[in-house]
Amino acid sequence: MAYVFGAMIAGSLAFSLFSGNAEALSEGMMESAESAVTLLISISGMLCVWSGFMRIAKDCGLIDRLSRLCAPLLRRLYPDVDVESDAFRYIAMNISANLLGLGNAATPLGLNAMKELKKQNPTNVASDSMLTFVLMNTASIQLLPTTIAVLRKSYGSQQPFDILICVWLTSALALTAGLVSAKLLNRRKAWRSSSRLSPRRCASGG
- 135 binds other proteins per the rule CB under 8 A: yes
For other proteins, the closer of residues 67 and 112 by Cβ is 112
For other proteins, the closer of residues 74 and 108 by Cβ is 108
- 96 binds other proteins per the rule CB under 8 A: no
Question: Binding mask 51-90 vs other proteins (x if CB under 8 A, - otherwise)?
Answer: xxxxxxxxxxxx----------------------------
Cβ at position 194, least distance to other proteins in Å: 16
Q: Select from 137, 64, 134, 141 the least CA-distant residue to 100.
A: 141
Q: Select from 136, 96, 102 the least CA-distant residue to 117.
A: 136
Among 72, 156, 205, 206, binds other proteins (CB under 8 A): 156
Distances (CA, A) of 15 to 20, 24, 126, 156, 168: 8, 12, 32, 39, 38
Q: Are 88 and 78 in contact (CB under 8 A)?
A: yes
- 1 binds other proteins per the rule CB under 8 A: yes
Query: Which residues make Cβ contacts (< 8 Å) with residue 58, sequence separation at least 6?
Result: 89
Stretch that binds other proteins, among 1-9, 67-75, 77-85, 195-203 (CB under 8 A): 1-9
